[in-house]
Structure 1
């Protein structure tokens, strides 16, 4: 079965969009800084695509091998918005958002170490609390010293 003209329009548009889609579109090329850190730009990418067409019927007879006249079109669009930088350095990995608002994922990642410490404290072995007493003595005479030794 021969391809319909709309399939050709869609195939061409999709092939062109496929050429634009690359991992470097979302996670940009790494940039190394003089201190050895590597910075990766992170972007949000949106693609849109539409195709449409119509066939017109002849008023008179024509052979079946000849298709109806066709009119159609297709289009697409792309939106790339930088959202953050991922910094990999000696201090670890950090995400630096480009918006002023606090991102949920950043807050979750930042709080994971504290959460793990709390969980270790909750599920770790329980130790009996120790009590220590410190006595501060000022102007002590011999009797006070003997009383203090007896209490110890």
Structure 2
């Protein structure tokens, strides 16, 4: 069975997208600084893809022709947005490329807040135990 023309359109679009997007698009090429640190850019990649076609009615004289009377098109869009930089040296740090909003800042501080809460509860428990201690 012969390939439908829309299949060729889709294959060409997908092949070109594969050429544009690789791992270096999301995790960029590492850059080494003079002090020995390595900086790796991290990006968010969004992609959209569309393909469509239409077959037209054949006239009686065209019925013997094996090719489809076909019209079609395809397209794609790609957006690359830097989100952070991974800095590797004596330690590893993740530096956001954009300013964090309120919720992100709150979530970023949750581990420290939990440590403080646990510390305060332990301290309060120790104080209560000292008050209730009766050596007699």
TM-score, L = length of structure 1? 0.66
Does structure 2 conserve the Cα–Cα contact (< 8 Å) formed by 1:95 and 1:106?
A: no
Structure 2 residue ranges without an equivalent (≥5): 119-136
Deviations 1:16-45 (A, max 9, x none): 101112110000010111111110000000
Which ranges of 4 or more aligned residues in structure 1 deviate by more than 4 Å?
Answer: 102-116
Deviation of 1:100 after TM superposition, in Å, equals 1.4
* Larger proportion of helix: 2
Q: Which residue of 1 aligns with 2:94?
A: 95
Deviation of 1:79 after TM superposition, in Å, equals 0.2
Distance 1:111 1:40, change over 3 A: farther
Which structure has more relative contact order (CA 8 Å, sep 6+)? It is 2
Deviations 1:81-106 (A, max 9, x none): 0000000111x111000121169889
Does structure 2 conserve the Cα–Cα contact (< 8 Å) formed by 1:57 and 1:68?
A: no
Distance 1:110 1:33, change over 3 A: farther
> Which structure has the larger Rg over C-alpha atoms?
1
TM-score, L = length of structure 2? 0.73
Does structure 2 conserve the Cα–Cα contact (< 8 Å) formed by 1:39 and 1:87?
A: yes
Structure 1 residue ranges without an equivalent (≥5): 120-152
